[in-house]
Amino acid sequence: PIDKTKITAYAEDSEEVQKLPAADYDAIVMQSVPKAIRKKVTREILIGDGTTGHLVGIFDDGATAIDAATDLEITEINETTLDEIIYSFGGDEDVEDAAVLILNKKDLKAFATLRKENGDKVYDIVNNGNTGTIDGIPFILNSACKAISDAATLEGEYSMAYGPLSNYTLAIFSDIDVQRSTDYKFKQGIIAHRGSGFFGGNVTAKNGFLRVKKGTAV
């Protein structure tokens, strides 16, 4: 199921900002609101719990297209981790686009700093902003993922997702609407900026993603 829900973003600035010379800071705030909504949506695609104001995320139980029994547990990132993820993935449906690994930046660093006995890098990593490749496998960084390499990540918490992005359907029910108001906090001289849009999302292919969680240390 894909249910429609409202995703919002809110920002404030003071009326003094409008009086600053040379730079239109208030316009920059207005432009940042839809960016904030898009960033929020990318987090929701992973960790949304399906309640009001949230999508159904890949890591959520509401993503019923994924059988939890297919989840992969990894205790640490080593020289076999990427192979474990790639060869553990496989659903019953054919896909047309390449699979992508979604992970935390700390785990990307763990891949990048692994060395062989002779000092050579284990993985060939190409960075391009928050995307790139690990040994030719495309990756996307998302801070909503809990890093396996982070000691603060608890056992059983989801850390990565691997699969074709087309296996997640994001429905856009409306354009993002951004409004500006000087009435809400008029007494304090505060300008309010609020953006909203209606979206829905869920995994729509059987076992469309391999979910990787932090395993129990031996």
Nearest Cα residue to 215 out of 109, 101, 58, 81 = 81
Nearest Cα residue to 104 out of 56, 152, 167 = 152
Spatial distance between the Cα atoms of 25 and 11, rounded to a whole number of angstroms: 13
91, pLDDT greater than 80: no
Q: What is the pLDDT of residues 104-147, one digit of tens each?
A: 999 999 999 999 999 999 999 999 999 999 999 999 999 999 99
What pLDDT does residue 199 have? 96
pTM: 0.87
Q: What is the pLDDT of residues 150-170, one digit of tens each?
A: 999 999 999 999 999 999 999
Per DSSP, the residues of 164-214 read EGGGEEEEE-S--EEEEEEEEETTTTEEEEEEEEEEEEEE-STT-SEEEEE
Q: What is the pLDDT of residues 166-191, one digit of tens each?
A: 999 999 999 999 998 888 888 888 88
92, pLDDT greater than 60: no
